[in-house]
Amino acid sequence: MKNEFLKRILSSFLLLPIIFYIIIQGSIIFNLLLGICFIISVYEWNKICNIKSFKFFGFIFLIISFFSVYLIRFKYSQDFDFFLLIFIICILTDVGGYFFGKLFKGPKLTKISPNKTISGMFGSFFLSILISILLIRLNFFNFDSIQINFSFIFYILCISGVSQLGDIFISYFKRMSNLKDTGKIIPGHGGLLDRIDGMIFAFPFSLLFLNILHITFK
């Protein structure tokens, strides 16, 4: 268990700077990474889903999800900032859920994913809001103008909540297939879907926000 935790920390420190660099650079290198991630996600989904009808709709959803990632990065973002905000909220959701769940433990959130706790859920929300506001205050993002008000807090809660639901959704199919992880591609983390399960739901949801509520943070 300790070795797996160390692998998780090490791989995160190695991979995150590279991923952030690719997000900022955009263009061909970003599209190449997006294509590779899509192929791996399709492969892993095919492995964990044993229900044919769900398998087909899962493939369609992955196409929609990855296309929404592309649109938000290149069509709707103010530079790369809006994309980066969603990405960071999803990461903070995972980190908050993991550490607050381990620290406070307490009642389980759902039988679908035994490691999920209610304390972890609130930790995900708390860390997402706290760090996002801090980054805004530190001018980490290049938004023309942004108000830290109820709407902004509500948006963070929605993205974090959808990300957590995505995590539970993928966990359900892993449990159905008697699999602990969707793969072994990322040391200490498992498969790619184990790490982006929340993001593949958060980005399409954000795209709906952009088109229906016209949230741009400009």
Q: Is residue 218 part of a domain?
A: no
What value does the mean pLDDT take over residues 35-46?
Answer: 94
What value does the mean pLDDT take over residues 63-91?
Answer: 87
Residue 217, pLDDT > 90, answer no
Q: Smallest Cα–Cα separation from 61: which of 197, 211, 210?
A: 197
Domain that holds residue 124: 2-213
How many angstroms from the chain centroid is the CA of residue 216?
19
- Count of the separate structural domains present in the chain: 1
Inter-axis angle of helices 199-208 and 81-104, to 10 degrees?
130
Measured CA to CA, the distance from residue 76 to residue 84 in angstroms comes to 12
Report pLDDT for 125: 96
Report pLDDT for 93: 95
